[in-house]
Structure 1
Amino acid sequence: MIKNIGDWLGKGISPETFMKKMKKNRDLFESKYQLFHLTEEDEAFFTDAASKNIRCVIITADWCGDAARSIPVVFQIMESAGIPIEVFIVDDNPDLIDQFRVLGGRSVPVVLFTSDNGDVLGQWGPRPAYIQEPMVEFKALGLDPESEEYQTKIMDVRKEIVRRYGEGAEYQPLVVKELRELLKEIS
């Protein structure tokens, strides 16, 4: 069954409003935004995808390091292609994020592609698959969140995730590639 978020459409904020309201991770977000450049081939692909009347809904938060790295890429792709975007802040929209949990949690960012009436056609996030691998492996361990082992291992996982992102824009082509693959599947 296809999920529908039609009741949510039109109630989010614009990317510009999200960026203006950022209180955390603003410098990281802006630096990743400046580093991103879309190739002509990718721009043509996403522009073609826009002709299929899709929308982009992003569930995110300024406190999220993954969002500060990936959402600048998503914003620029969607803006370049002319795909309508709206943003929902996770802390203000628990009912929305609960429909799109990742590995059992309220992981953000979540990027949704919908039809004009709100049928969810595809979902991406919270990070590229290669960067997500350590978290998937960690969650598979099924550790008790109250245990010392959990606390030690989660810190190691977070360090590995940051290492995989790298210092510059090395990860950004992964976001582009995965969004292209997702849009190929749904169009």
Structure 2
Amino acid sequence: MTLQEWFNKGLTTEEYLAGMNVNKDEMMGIYSKYTLSSEEKEKLQPVKDKGLKVIVLTEDWCGDAMLNNPVLLKIAEEVGIEVRFILRDSNLELMDQYLTNGTSRAIPIFVFLNNEGEEVAVWGPRAPKLQELVISERSKLPNAEADDFKDEQAAMYKRLTASYQEDENHWHTVADSIIEKLV
């Protein structure tokens, strides 16, 4: 299938939200609280009304999607980008074209298309500054064979998830990273 065909197959935002069973309230909480800064809006002007579309490879259980998808939706609203969601786990044919480091099915992945349905940019699964944060947090975990590893790992993910929902600096970090890919 072409990217345009994948886009056409995708779920609208409303359809995706209606099907969400995990992280919906958390994602919508970020969406309701996040506003693009005037600087972010200014940086986006070159792509405004260019007819861009974006395929969002995602799943509702993903913490990074919980953070990144609402920021993307705000950007899309600002500049007139059509958004379609493709669920990773039932669309591995597309997902496997966008592996992180050539091996990982990490999500979300944003595939931006032009008017002709051609790929113009790919973003994801995480803003570089947030990747540094996650790596730093993981480095503090005990050895994977340690008795308390699973508990410590769960606590780390809980802390990260809470910070994703509460720290507006994270939201702007994501926006800046996406904008950098688009302009």
TM-score tier, shorter chain, comes to: 0.7 to 0.9
Match of 1:118 in 2: 117
Query: How many Å apart are 1:64 and its aligned residue?
Result: 0.6
Query: How many Å apart are 1:7 and its aligned residue?
Result: 3.0
Match of 2:79 in 1: 81
Contact 1:132/1:161 (8 A) holds in 2: no
Q: How many Å separate the matches in 2 of 1:47 and 1:113? A: 16
CA deviation vs aligned residue, 1:36-64 (integer Å, no higher than 9, x gap): 10123433443540333321111111111
Whether 1:179 aligns to 2:178 is: yes
| Counterpart code for 2:22 | K
Query: How many Å apart are 1:158 and its aligned residue?
Result: 4.4
Q: How many Å separate the matches in 2 of 1:98 and 1:158? A: 25
Aligned residues: 173
Match of 1:148 in 2: 145
Contact 1:54/1:113 (8 A) holds in 2: yes
* TM-score normalised per structure 1: 0.78
Equivalent runs, 1:16-35 vs 2, <5 Å: 16-35=14-33
Match of 1:55 in 2: 53
Gap runs ≥5 in structure 2: 139-143
Gap runs ≥5 in structure 1: 140-146
| Counterpart code for 1:31 | G
| Counterpart code for 1:126 | P
Q: How many Å separate the matches in 2 of 1:89 and 1:135? A: 24
Match of 1:99 in 2: 97
| Counterpart code for 2:175 | V
CA deviation vs aligned residue, 1:106-162 (integer Å, no higher than 9, x gap): 1111111112232211111112111112666899xxxxxxx737x949938746754
Moved more, 59-68 or 112-121: 112-121
Q: How many Å separate the matches in 2 of 1:134 and 1:45? A: 25
Secondary structure in structure 2 of the residue aligned to 1:118: coil
* TM-score normalised per structure 2: 0.80
Identical positions, percent: 27
Q: How many Å separate the matches in 2 of 1:134 and 1:101? A: 21
RMSD between aligned alpha carbons? 2.8
CA deviation vs aligned residue, 1:55-86 (integer Å, no higher than 9, x gap): 11111111111111110110121022211111
Match of 1:65 in 2: 63
